[in-house]
Amino acid sequence: MTLFGPKKPCPHCGREVRKLGDPERFLCPHCGQPGPWASGAQVSTWSSQQSARARYGELLAQMTVRALPAGDGQALAQARAAAGYTSEEMSHIHLQAFEQKALPMVADDLLTPEEGADLSSVMTVLGLDWNVIARADRQLYDRLFVSSINGGQLPEVSSPHILQKKGESCISNVRRAS
């Protein structure tokens, strides 16, 4: 026994790990896997959480390369709940997935209505809106805005503060959440 408490080798990396006073801190500080002081229940919970995180990552990866089928939203929600991510981790992961989906669509500076609808459904599933995207990545937001205009999608103002002639509409320079 050392001055700071007992140590045991980690079953995954073999490095010596000191027993901490907090029983909730059971991961090895060296490899991030359950250390020698983890209980069977903790190892089981951690393993199922890691499986759910892998599944969630697979579903997000599938979503970035094809249109989102109707049932995928529910499968994503189930995997998300089991993964146990913090809200900060979830926000980061969702923004990365959205960027992976959006960047190929705006590579030609043209966002078709079909691509716009696909992005809108992805945003809904990921819990994102245009304000969040603008704050996280202003360059991507601007590219999406210009590409959607190039694709013929002009954002209209619902209650303009000017008088319009018959058949006219006011176009906004700010995207709104769909």
Structure tokens at 164: 């319009």
Are 17 and 30 spatial neighbours (Cβ–Cβ below 8 Å)?
yes
Residue 73 structural domain: 39-150
Tell me the pTM: 0.74
- Residue 10 belongs to a domain: no
Is 173 inside a domain boundary? no
Report the alpha-carbon distance of residue 37 to residue 32 in Å, rounded. 13
Residue 157 has pLDDT above 60, yes or no: no
19 domain residue, yes or no: no
Do the beta carbons of residue 43 and residue 52 sit within 8 Å? no
CA separation (Å) from 62 to 12, 41, 142? 31, 32, 25
Burial of 99 (0-12, 13-18, 19+ CB in 10 A): middle
Rounded to whole angstroms, the Cα distance separating 21 from 127 reads 38
- Domain count for the chain: 1
- pLDDT (0 to 100) of residue 65: 81
Do the domain assignments include residue 77? yes
Q: Is residue 145 part of a domain?
A: yes
Top-confidence range, 16-20, 58-62, 78-82, 99-103: 99-103
